[in-house]
């Protein structure tokens, strides 16, 4: 599979128009339905290659786009997601500097 190609599992005759938010591979048990003793086997079945991780992030992005950004009457939610996500990101990268400025009582 080269960059920009459709997934190997995608068949336009079966699946219809391509949806970038859909996984076309073999379906597996959702994480919410996995029992505690089966978590190791479930994790072992995951594809951990860089292209698979990139594909999962791309599908998550397109699901977010379809749900919050592209509806006809989209609200303020996508902007708030970006604002609060960037606030959390910058807090995490600056945590070392911020932790040195705590107020302590010295008595």
Q: What is the pLDDT of residue 95?
A: 93
pLDDT band at 7 (very low <50, low <70, confident <90, very high): confident
Would you say residue 55 has pLDDT above 80? yes
Tokens 């902007």 belong to: 79
- Please tell me the pTM assigned to this model: 0.75
Would you say residue 28 has pLDDT above 60? yes
DSSP secondary structure code for residue 37 in this structure: G
DSSP secondary structure code for residue 32 in this structure: G
């Amino acid at each position: 599979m080269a960059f920009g190609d459709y997934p190997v599992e995608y068949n336009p005759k079966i699946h219809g128009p391509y949806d970038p938010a859909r996984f076309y591979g073999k379906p597996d048990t959702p994480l919410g339905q996995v029992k505690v003793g089966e978590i190791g086997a479930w994790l072992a079945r995951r594809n951990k290659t860089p292209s698979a991780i990139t594909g999962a992030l791309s599908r998550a992005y397109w699901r977010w786009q379809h749900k919050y950004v592209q509806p006809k009457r989209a609200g303020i939610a996508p902007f708030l997601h970006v604002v609060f996500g960037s606030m959390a990101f910058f807090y995490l990268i600056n945590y070392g500097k911020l932790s040195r400025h705590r107020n302590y009582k010295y008595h």
